Amino acid sequence: MKIGVHFTLPEVDPSALAGTTVVVVDPIRATTSIVEALAHGAGGIYPTGSTEDAVRLAASLGREDTLLCGERKGIKVEGFDLGNSPGEFTEEAVGGMKLVMSTTNGTRALATAAEADRVVVCAFANLSAVAAAVSADDEVIILCAGREDRFAIDDALCAGYVVQKLVEAADEEPDLDDSAQAAKALAEGLTLSRELLEHSAAGRATAEIGLADDLDICSDIDRHDIVPVVHDQAITLAGA
């Protein structure tokens, strides 16, 4: 098995992802919100790059059973039904609904991964389930959404935890690129907690807009045993 990590989106050549499994991580907050939505019965999530594209897609899907979700600068987009806070995605809010989602970093990462053979969505919330699901794949690339094209420690730590679990599960020692080795070393030196996330740039920004409580869910490791995958431009549960 080969394992690679990209810490930011600008370093990625999307065409080089062909033939690989890509695990997209953005635990504060997009991938955590996706996990929460699917765990609570959302019928599918459609990521878009822009709010304008989101509005058009929601209209074409039919607004009677489609919710517009997303943020810019962390704050819910005006006119959208939901923002990007994991706690919003309850069964009462999203059960049986289609979700069109646009976020500052996470949905861009998903678009970047589009040429991969398989795209899986990961947060701390479903870490073990994702690691188990990709453990038999030949080449796994963990793609960090980053924060406005810069390194984000929360993404890197999540990536490192995935690398750790893949190494532990492998029959033979995997081939790690330098970034995967660095992410693994980071994970070996840090323990996930709300406090750790609070001190990250994304965590501080989340607190500044009054949403610090989101970090309770974002730091709750393995709260769900589900594997969201991208299929036909929609994110659904593996096997669904």
pLDDT tens digit sequence for 2-50: 999 999 999 999 999 999 999 999 999 999 999 999 999 999 999 998 9
Which residues, at least 6 apart from 56, have a Cβ–Cβ distance to it below 8 Å?
A: none
Q: How many CB atoms lie within 10 A of CB 44?
A: 21
**Residues 201, 76: Cα–Cα separation, whole Å:** 19
Cis peptide before 29 (omega within 30 of 0): yes
Dihedral sign, Cα of residue 219, residue 136, residue 41, residue 105? positive
Q: What pLDDT does 166 receive?
A: 98
pLDDT tens digit sequence for 143-195: 999 999 999 999 999 999 999 999 999 999 999 999 999 999 999 999 999 99
Question: What is the rounded average pLDDT of the residues 98-108?
Answer: 95
Question: In this prediction, what percent of the chain has a pLDDT beyond 70?
Answer: 100
Given a cut of 80, whether residue 239 has pLDDT beyond it is no
CB distance 229 to 237 below 8 Å: yes
Tokens of 105: 């970093």
**Domain residues of the chain, as ranges?**
2-233
> Residue 218 carries which DSSP code?
H
**Residues 124, 104: Cα–Cα separation, whole Å:** 19
> How buried is residue 28: exposed, middle or buried, by Cβ count under 10 Å (0-12/13-18/19+)?
buried
First-to-last C-alpha distance (Å) of the chain: 27
pLDDT tens digit sequence for 190-230: 999 999 999 999 999 999 999 999 999 999 999 999 999 99
Question: What is the rounded average pLDDT of the residues 230-234?
Answer: 92
Q: Give the right CATH number for 2-233 from 3.10.420.10, 3.90.1560.10, 3.40.50.1980, 1.10.287.130.
A: 3.90.1560.10
Question: What is the rounded average pLDDT of the residues 102-116?
Answer: 95
